[in-house]
Structure 1
Amino acid sequence: MTTPHGYTPPPSGFGGHRPAATALYGPHLDGDAMPALYEDLRRTHGPVAPVTVAPGIEAWLVLGHRELLRVARDEQDFSHDPRRWSPLREGRVPPDSPILPFVGWRPALMFADGQQHRRMRAAVSDALARVDGHELRRRVRSAAEELIASFAGRGAADLVPQYARRLPLLVISGLLGLDERPGRRLVHAIGRMGATASDSGRASRRINAILLALIEEKRSRPGDDITSALLHHPARLTDEEVLHNLLVMFVAGHQSTVDWIATSLCVMLCDPAFPSAPTGGRLTADDALDLVLWRFPPTQNLPTRYATRALRLGGQSIRAGDMLILGLAAANADPAVLPPGGPAAGNRSHLAFGAGPHTCPAQDPARVITRTAVDTVRQRLPDMELAVEQPELAWVPSPWRRGLAALPVRFTGPQPSRTAPADAAGTGIDRPGHPAAPQTGEVR
């Protein structure tokens, strides 16, 4: 089989009778390279492929839609608990391995199965359900207006660092009850996780200190925020459980929303099927959001599951304790289930938010944030266009996320601020979703 330029598959660690593994890491594996790699793996191995996710660390990448649904839905055979992972149990994972931040066990819903998972998920879901969709839209629009005002007079901006990256930070920090300054410190510390072993240790301590201070404050002085809701939920989460579930929500919610906003704006700027103005045209903002979730899901590979017993999956022999990676982007493009020409109208059966009992509980507020962010900048800067040629746009090199490294735009000036009508600001919380868009323009 072929591999990305500059890569040689490491020797197989699965045993002599196992197929050779392909590296799922390295600086060349960006958004341009990954789709071709998935299809190459699918042609060579079928719906489940052997990969390495770090030097000397083997796993199985689940590429098939049906196989991914089985893994995501079956907690009996596929556990979320990394303490079941054989190399970790046997001390074969180097202490400086970049995979460690993903596989260190924490008392949070994404590392739990069964009753423990249901208890924590109930608290998280109830806390998120208390978020008022109308108030969240107002909060997002207000933060978006401030950010746009900070660069609107210049006639140009990079919408990734100046808009898409900052907006979810402001909003999610507020939802958790964090002020902007500790929220920024938290994001910076999260960004240092996995850089080196020493950086990860320092970052972890900073993260814990910020969130523990927030928990202490909200336990004595609760407010109308997610942290207070978790602390005072009937599930009686411990402070440690609240801390780690907040961390999961912040990490997952922040980065995936950043990438969803930026890629949706890029699709609307690059594809002639989308109008430059916020009204009219045959495809809508919701179509752009859904197109991104189908073709450019912000989380393209989701770590991880661990086989609880030896079994067969997608033609491969999986051993007890093996790691499995959920290939969300590859499964969305599985030709066995994807109709010719793309998903049919009204089809939101993509796997961008996962599946089964661990489906993302925050997808409704994430859509509110993303839709409002897209609407607001398009209304305020209606003549906005790319400041570079489309082929010059680049993706962040990562096997886990799919996000643009930059989105430079230019414009003549802002339109006066106005309140969007209710139907224009609608989201999945308030009304049925628009159909998923057909396959149209490409983004490099």
Structure 2
Amino acid sequence: MTSPHAAAGPPARCPVNGTPAPTTALYGPDLDGDALPALYEQLRGDHGPVAPVTIAPGVDAWLVIGHREVLQLTRDEQDFSHDPRRWSLLREGRVPADSPILPMVGWRPALLFADGQQHRRMRAAVSAALAGINGHELRRTVRATAEQVIVAFAERSEADLVADYARKLPMRVITELLGLDDQTGRHLVEAVAGTVSATSASADASKRMGAILLHLIEEKRRRRGNDITSALLHHPARLTDEEVLHNLVVMFVAGNQTTVNWIATTLRILLCDPEFRSSLTGGHLSVDDALDVVLWRFPPTQNFPARYATRDMTFGGQHIRTGDMLILGLAGANADPQILPDDGTPVVGNRSHLAFGAGPHICPAQDPARLITRTAVDTIRHRLPDLELAIPQGELEWIKSPWSRGLAALPVRFTAPVLPQHPAPLPDHQPVR
């Protein structure tokens, strides 16, 4: 198999054979989310659509940033497996047991780490559980929750829309969908954030995350609820408790932080791009158009682990060895000049981006995620119509993560909130059929 792109030069260092070409570090405290787009273009210029990177101390991989190459990587399970037990560095004992990357890529009995029939069995249960979400009830829940969150900070006439809004809203909605109470949901969010932070504390955070979800599963086994956890437990696919736990981990990790980033970044564009905001207010563009611009330019998940080569091959102009890890460079692939218009600007309404992945493992929760994000953005636009950025745009900071592209903070001010006289109560029934 050969990529349609030609090699940009001599083959770069192979993560397996260890030849001495340098790799680019895609981790560490100095990782600047604002500079990542330029880094992807530098890698593209130096190496082509597949570039050598280091994702943790001593852990090399390939970052796939070509649009066509990512499509091939996601669709071809015969050559690119999801199962990290095929990873040569891990099999050979070359990944430290305390490596911060292991909580992200270590094998779990979940659809994200399975191929073929095993993947299809678990995905059937997950898809059915998500399909059971009542869109009308979910919209009501998101709107009511958003109004409650806005009322809580409205008197201050200022807020940080990341900490005060974007982080609180999806967490409350998603944990309710899972069947968790608010306080336990906050503990789960903290544990998930620690797990994906790729630091020395990730392993402990992963254990806390598992303990919270295991207790939830035991409770739902005893007393079935109207929630996603119960739907998974009672699906005909007969998932084990362990499979339910780890599929909940995948759903929550993939769902919460990405939705936080999607909401916050959409609001940033509306605050910082007067022309776009005017077009939206005037009805020339919809909120969905704004959401798609974010998915193209600033996908909430920058890079996504991982696939593992099942054979030696030439891919993207690089020599890939059996067991090599390949990272889905979603943001880099979205910016691939091979598929963008001449000016490099994504076309409004074009949804051929890769923000949700592609192929058999494309995100099964993209519809409820879009509904949550759209409702969150629409609600705050109507409740805080004179919202404006409280600091210069150039002073905004991004979180430092190789995986997630999100704002660290979004400080705003406003003077004329339009608040409901009586904030809408949450629906009596959970938004799952």
Common topology (TM > 0.5):
yes
- Alpha-carbon separation, structure 1, partners of 2:197 and 2:274: 40
From 267, 270, 273, give the equivalent of 2:272.
270
From 373, 390, 404, give the equivalent of 2:393.
390
Given that residues 105 and 111 in structure 1 are in contact (C-alpha distance below 8 angstroms), is that contact kept between their aligned partners in structure 2?
yes
Q: Deviations over 1:350-409 (max 9, x none)?
A: 000000000000000000000000011110000000000111111111111100000000
How much has 1:273 moved relative to structure 2? 1.9
Q: What does 1:171-182 align with in structure 2 at a 5 Å threshold?
A: 171-182=173-184
Deviating more after overlay: 283-292 vs 371-380 = 283-292
Counterpart check, 1:243 vs 2:245: yes
How much has 1:97 moved relative to structure 2? 1.4
- Alpha-carbon separation, structure 1, partners of 2:17 and 2:225: 55
How much has 1:347 moved relative to structure 2? 1.2
- Alpha-carbon separation, structure 1, partners of 2:383 and 2:17: 58
Q: What does 1:85-164 align with in structure 2 at a 5 Å threshold?
A: 85-164=87-166
From 397, 402, 419, give the equivalent of 1:399.
402
Residue 98 of structure 1: SS of its match in structure 2? coil
Letter in 2 for 1:239: D
How much has 1:29 moved relative to structure 2? 2.3
Q: What's the counterpart of residue 299 of structure 2?
A: 297
How much has 1:328 moved relative to structure 2? 0.4
Residue 162 of structure 1: SS of its match in structure 2? helix
Q: What's the counterpart of residue 70 of structure 2?
A: 68
Task: Evaluate the alpha carbon distance shift between residue 276 and residue 149 of structure 1 in structure 2; reply closer, same or farther with a 3 A threshold.
Answer: farther
Given that residues 279 and 285 in structure 2 are in contact (C-alpha distance below 8 angstroms), is that contact kept between their aligned partners in structure 1?
no
Q: Deviations over 1:213-255 (max 9, x none)?
A: 2112212221211011101101000010001101111111000
Letter in 2 for 1:362: A
Given that residues 299 and 401 in structure 1 are in contact (C-alpha distance below 8 angstroms), is that contact kept between their aligned partners in structure 2?
yes
- Alpha-carbon separation, structure 1, partners of 2:31 and 2:153: 32
Q: What's the counterpart of residue 355 of structure 1?
A: 358
Counterpart check, 1:214 vs 2:200: no
Letter in 2 for 1:148: I
Q: What's the counterpart of residue 371 of structure 1?
A: 374
How much has 1:188 moved relative to structure 2? 1.5
Q: Deviations over 1:170-200 (max 9, x none)?
A: 0000000111111111111223326688744
Q: What's the counterpart of residue 426 of structure 1?
A: none
From 57, 60, 76, give the equivalent of 2:59.
57
- Alpha-carbon separation, structure 1, partners of 2:169 and 2:119: 30
Counterpart check, 1:185 vs 2:187: yes
Letter in 2 for 1:364: D
- Alpha-carbon separation, structure 1, partners of 2:118 and 2:225: 26
Letter in 1 for 2:208: R
* C-alpha RMSD over aligned residues: 2.0
Q: Could you tell me the percent identity over the aligned residues?
A: 70
From 401, 410, 413, give the equivalent of 1:410.
413
Given that residues 79 and 305 in structure 1 are in contact (C-alpha distance below 8 angstroms), is that contact kept between their aligned partners in structure 2?
yes
- Alpha-carbon separation, structure 1, partners of 2:387 and 2:18: 56
What TM-score, normalized by structure 1, do the two folds share? 0.88
- Alpha-carbon separation, structure 1, partners of 2:17 and 2:219: 52
**Aligned residue-pair number:** 410
How much has 1:104 moved relative to structure 2? 1.0
Given that residues 276 and 383 in structure 1 are in contact (C-alpha distance below 8 angstroms), is that contact kept between their aligned partners in structure 2?
no
Deviating more after overlay: 185-194 vs 302-311 = 185-194
- Alpha-carbon separation, structure 1, partners of 2:310 and 2:204: 33
Given that residues 353 and 363 in structure 1 are in contact (C-alpha distance below 8 angstroms), is that contact kept between their aligned partners in structure 2?
yes
Given that residues 98 and 203 in structure 2 are in contact (C-alpha distance below 8 angstroms), is that contact kept between their aligned partners in structure 1?
no
Given that residues 274 and 282 in structure 1 are in contact (C-alpha distance below 8 angstroms), is that contact kept between their aligned partners in structure 2?
no
Unmatched 5+ stretches in structure 1:
1-10, 420-444
- Alpha-carbon separation, structure 1, partners of 2:414 and 2:91: 55
How much has 1:129 moved relative to structure 2? 0.4
Letter in 1 for 2:154: A
How much has 1:343 moved relative to structure 2? 3.0
Task: Evaluate the alpha carbon distance shift between residue 15 and residue 105 of structure 1 in structure 2; reply closer, same or farther with a 3 A threshold.
Answer: closer
- Alpha-carbon separation, structure 1, partners of 2:14 and 2:280: 52
Q: Deviations over 1:1-42 (max 9, x none)?
A: xxxxxxxxxx97554657431111122322221111111111
- Alpha-carbon separation, structure 1, partners of 2:203 and 2:352: 39
Residue 274 of structure 2: SS of its match in structure 1? coil
- Alpha-carbon separation, structure 1, partners of 2:40 and 2:187: 36
- Alpha-carbon separation, structure 2, partners of 1:277 and 1:12: 48
Q: Deviations over 1:303-360 (max 9, x none)?
A: 1110011011011010000000010001001001111232334310000000000000
Task: Evaluate the alpha carbon distance shift between residue 380 and residue 311 of structure 1 in structure 2; reply closer, same or farther with a 3 A threshold.
Answer: same
Letter in 2 for 1:388: I
Given that residues 221 and 233 in structure 2 are in contact (C-alpha distance below 8 angstroms), is that contact kept between their aligned partners in structure 1?
yes
Unmatched 5+ stretches in structure 2:
1-12, 423-433
Task: Evaluate the alpha carbon distance shift between residue 30 and residue 198 of structure 1 in structure 2; reply closer, same or farther with a 3 A threshold.
Answer: closer
Q: What's the counterpart of residue 334 of structure 2?
A: 332
- Alpha-carbon separation, structure 2, partners of 1:116 and 1:69: 21
Residue 319 of structure 2: SS of its match in structure 1? strand
How much has 1:103 moved relative to structure 2? 1.6
